Chain A
Amino acid sequence: MADQNGNGAKVRYIHRPNTLKMKVGGAPDSEAGMVDPVDLERARNAVREMAETYPAEVEGQLQKLQELYEAAASGSGSDRYDALVEIRDIAHEIRGVAGTFGYAGCAKFATSLFDFTRSPDSFSDAHVMVVKIHVDAIRVLLRGGRSAETGPEITELTNSLKLAISRLSTRRGR
């Protein structure tokens, strides 16, 4: 009989037959299998092909990000909040995919933007400026390709971002 904390209650271990292994052509006790190298290469090639078209695919999101930033900058209250929530959602999408296609820098900025806009209520103009720097950096990185990650524009934007965030922290500390 178990008490109210579950002490003394029955814990059961359930061992199920490994039907997945049998479905992929193995036996329950056979050695570990492997993925066909031809299939693996086909999958990698498919990702490479998608990577080549990714900047064009994401162009619409970049435009949307710019429009939303402008809406957040010119709006206030719930209008600003709604725009920032949409920005957060797009940042979430970009961060999930960009890294897969080798745009590590872009994924990093998108992740930072997503984290920054997690709770965008009562965002000031200074907060929205931080959003703008993120949006600019993502645009530069996606339009400029992977070589843009080490370019002067990104170095400048990274420094601006650090400065803008430190100013925010200083204001909070006051």
Chain B
Amino acid sequence: MAGFVYSFQKLSVLIVDDTEYMLSLLTTILKALNFGVVLSATNGQDAKRILEDNRPVAEAKDDLVVDIVISDWRMSPGDGAELLHWIRHHKSDSIKFLPFIMLTGYTEHARIIKARDLGMTEFLRKPVTVNSLVGRIGSVIERPRPFVSAPTFFGPDRRRQTLPFEGPDKRKAKDG
């Protein structure tokens, strides 16, 4: 049984897709769900500019202009993978911790692994439906994973579940 009804009015989403029709479709869905602000960009380069322009001067917790990024993979200039890499390596906390939903028609396992290793939060497969989109946004809200900062990775913990393990701890690195 759900505890409360979401009010998306205070949330802002940046959608990035090189197809005008897809932008229009996603905007229509998000507006119908009463999202407060829906920003759009047609490529990674535009998206970076929007994120930079809307970055709060002070890193106040409630002052983030963009709350979630939903981005296509295949775009130019600046594809989704490059945008995700830029976000996760940004100096500003308001950008580097942004939930990032990778939206793509590429569903090969290698692609999913690559997006995961770049620090994506969720993977949304085209064709998009209202249910699939709402499901991914719900996961971002309800099941945020801790971020992992390691020498070769920065992003949401790539392990989605904790399985019991009985045996000696062989890890060389320690939790911080």
Chain B contacts with A in 121-147, Cβ cutoff 8 A: 126-130, 134, 138, 140-142, 144, 146-147
Q: Given the interface contacts A12-B176, A16-B147, does A40 sit within 8 Å of B33 by beta carbon?
A: yes
Docked-complex contact B11 and A20, CB < 8 angstroms = yes
In the bound complex, what is the Cα–Cα distance between A12 and B140 (angstroms)?
21
Docked-complex contact A96 and B127, CB < 8 angstroms = yes
| Residue in A closest to B176 when the chains form the complex, CB atoms | A12
Docked-complex contact A96 and B22, CB < 8 angstroms = yes
Docked-complex contact A39 and B4, CB < 8 angstroms = no
Chain A contacts with B in 11-45, Cβ cutoff 8 A: 11-21, 23-26, 30-36, 39-40, 42-45
| Residue in B closest to A25 when the chains form the complex, CB atoms | B7
Of the candidates B6, B72, B141, the one whose C-beta lies within 8 Å of that of A36 is B6
**B150 in the interface, Cβ–Cβ < 8 Å?**
yes
Q: Given the interface contacts A11-B175, A24-B11, A33-B142, does A97 sit within 8 Å of B4 by beta carbon?
A: no
In the bound complex, what is the Cα–Cα distance between A31 and B99 (angstroms)?
21
**A168 in the interface, Cβ–Cβ < 8 Å?**
no
Residues of B within 8 A of A (CB): 1-8, 10-11, 17, 19, 21-22, 24-25, 28-29, 32-34, 61-62, 64, 67-68, 72, 74, 97, 99, 105, 126-130, 134, 138, 140-142, 144, 146-152, 157, 172-176
A94 CB to closest chain B CB (Å) equals 9
In the bound complex, what is the Cα–Cα distance between A96 and B147 (angstroms)?
31
Docked-complex contact B148 and A13, CB < 8 angstroms = yes
Docked-complex contact A47 and B29, CB < 8 angstroms = yes
B173 CB to closest chain A CB (Å) equals 4
| Residue in A closest to B140 when the chains form the complex, CB atoms | A20
Chain A contacts with B in 35-71, Cβ cutoff 8 A: 35-36, 39-40, 42-47, 50, 57
Count of chain A to chain B residue pairs whose CB atoms are closer than 8 Å in the complex: 165
Docked-complex contact B19 and A97, CB < 8 angstroms = yes
Q: Given the interface contacts A8-B172, A12-B149, does A50 sit within 8 Å of B28 by beta carbon?
A: yes
Q: Which chain B positions have C-beta within 8 A of A150?
A: none
**A111 in the interface, Cβ–Cβ < 8 Å?**
yes
Docked-complex contact B142 and A32, CB < 8 angstroms = yes
B97 CB to closest chain A CB (Å) equals 6
Of the candidates A6, A14, A26, A114, the one whose C-beta lies within 8 Å of that of B151 is A6
In the bound complex, what is the Cα–Cα distance between A35 and B141 (angstroms)?
12
Docked-complex contact A31 and B1, CB < 8 angstroms = yes
Docked-complex contact A99 and B126, CB < 8 angstroms = yes
Q: Which chain A positions have C-beta within 8 A of B134?
A: 35, 40, 43
The 22 sampled A-B contact pairs (Cβ below 8 Å) are A7-B173, A9-B150, A11-B148, A11-B150, A13-B147, A15-B146, A20-B11, A20-B144, A21-B142, A26-B3, A30-B4, A32-B138, A33-B4, A33-B142, A35-B5, A43-B28, A47-B130, A50-B25, A92-B19, A96-B72, A97-B21, A97-B127
